[in-house]
Amino acid sequence: TTSIMKKSIGAFALFVSWTAVSVNSFSQHALLPRVSRKTVSGMKMVDGSVLSQAWDSYNVALAESPLLVKSVTAGVLLGAADLTGQSIERMQQNQQQISNNDDIDTGIDLARAARFAVFGLVLQAPWNHFYYLLLDGALPPTPEPFTTTTGIKVFIDQFIQAPIFTVLIFAFLGTLEGKSLDDVKQQLDEDYKDTMLANWKLWVPATAVNIAFCPPILRVLFLNIVFFAWSIFLSLKLNKSQATSES
């Protein structure tokens, strides 16, 4: 398990390193436009090598311990998604505060980001890992991407699984925040309908692409990537409701 964790974290570290190298390379290229093509070509080869190594390391770890790697990936991405959501909130709030000549709030709620990370680690990834094992076991993947089987699986995913899982999201995050059962029910009454409508706009096409084209081993990774954007929405939606109830 420790070895798998090291490989998984190593893959993330390599990916971050590649991102840093890419940004640095872009900055240097912008500042020094006369860099030779040979130098630029060498930089691209290094960047591609780092990215390839990160991807290979991730796939090795995923094959050896799929549930653990999927969970770690979801925890990292969902925690980052909440931090992104908080940044958006701060930008909106600061614009209002500047117009009102109020003090600017630059604080970050790390506990809130940690709750989303725990949600990804403990619930989101494990749920989808076992759910897709069950779904693919009952309805095996087809060679052709768009078939009746694909349509049935998308319907099951979005109109049976998704409504149940969304309730679990509200309950899980509400529990981590220390909300009572009545508070969770109230939030469901206020936000569940709008959340599901937004869910279907994003996740019906995303699920169709996932089931039609992604290999089973990579489906949760695809979900985690899309879930990054969805978690920003959830973060803003859930915490906006909380702020409204407190004001």
CA dihedral 9, 130, 169, 111 (to 10 degrees): -20
Q: Which two tokens stand for residue 140?
A: 């095996």
- Find the mean pLDDT for residues 157-162: 97
Q: How far is 34 from 102, CA to CA, in rounded Å?
A: 47
- H/E element holding 215? none
The answer to whether residues 169 and 234 touch, using CB atoms and an 8 Å cutoff, is yes
- Find the mean pLDDT for residues 141-167: 96
Band (30; pLDDT cuts 50, 70, 90)? very low
Q: Convert the pLDDT of each residue in 35-56 to its tens digit.
A: 444 544 554 555 668 888 888 8
- Find the mean pLDDT for residues 20-28: 37
Angle at the Cα of 57 from the Cα atoms of 121 and 129, rounded to 5 degrees: 35
Q: Convert the pLDDT of each residue in 171-204 to its tens digit.
A: 999 999 999 999 999 999 999 999 999 999 999 9
Band (7; pLDDT cuts 50, 70, 90)? very low
Q: How far is 224 from 76, CA to CA, in rounded Å?
A: 10
Band (93; pLDDT cuts 50, 70, 90)? confident
Q: What percent of the chain has pLDDT over 70?
A: 73
Q: Which two tokens stand for residue 21?
A: 């190298």
Neighbours of 108 (CB within 10 A): 13
Does the reported pTM lie above 0.85? Answer: no
Q: What percent of the chain has pLDDT over 90?
A: 60
Angle at the Cα of 203 from the Cα atoms of 56 and 195, rounded to 5 degrees: 130
Q: How far is 220 from 210, CA to CA, in rounded Å?
A: 9
